[in-house]
């Protein structure tokens, strides 16, 4: 996982352990605030790519970009490193749509 907010590391590890059945390999934090990342994601792209590559080097099979400021970046990161990269926001929306009753889902 690549995210911001190192203060959340313990909580992220606990939740990932509960939800991910112990499959979390690595968490990499980029040195940026949520506001900084949201304001200029292009300025942080190299550090995001490097962090994702580090997760793969640690043995991950896929990397999750955790947090709304990463929305829209998975494809460009995946293209740069040639490995599967997912966005937490996009995954959450897909889960919400899948969980909605049949008919036209409203998220």
Q: What DSSP assignment string belongs to 77-90? A: HHHHHTS-EEEHHH
Confidence (pLDDT) at 82: 96
- 13-59 per-position pLDDT tens digit: 888 777 767 778 889 999 998 999 999 988 999 999 999 999 999 99
What sign does the CA torsion over 11, 107, 84, 61 have? positive
Stated pTM of the model: 0.83
Which two tokens mark 66? 């955790």
- 55-104 per-position pLDDT tens digit: 999 999 999 999 889 988 999 999 999 999 999 888 888 888 888 887 66
Confidence (pLDDT) at 17: 78
Confidence (pLDDT) at 94: 87
Confidence (pLDDT) at 105: 58
Which two tokens mark 54? 């580090």
């Amino acid at each position: 996982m690549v995210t911001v907010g190192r203060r959340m590391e313990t909580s992220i590890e606990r939740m990932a352990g509960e939800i991910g059945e112990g499959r979390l390999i690595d968490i990499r934090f980029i040195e940026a605030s949520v506001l900084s990342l949201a304001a200029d994601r292009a300025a942080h792209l190299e550090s995001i790519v490097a962090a994702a590559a580090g997760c793969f080097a640690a043995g991950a099979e896929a990397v999750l970009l955790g947090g709304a400021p990463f929305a829209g970046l998975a494809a460009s990161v995946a293209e740069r490193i040639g490995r599967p990269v997912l966005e937490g926001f996009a995954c959450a929306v897909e889960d919400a749509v899948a969980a909605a009753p049949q008919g036209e889902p409203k998220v």
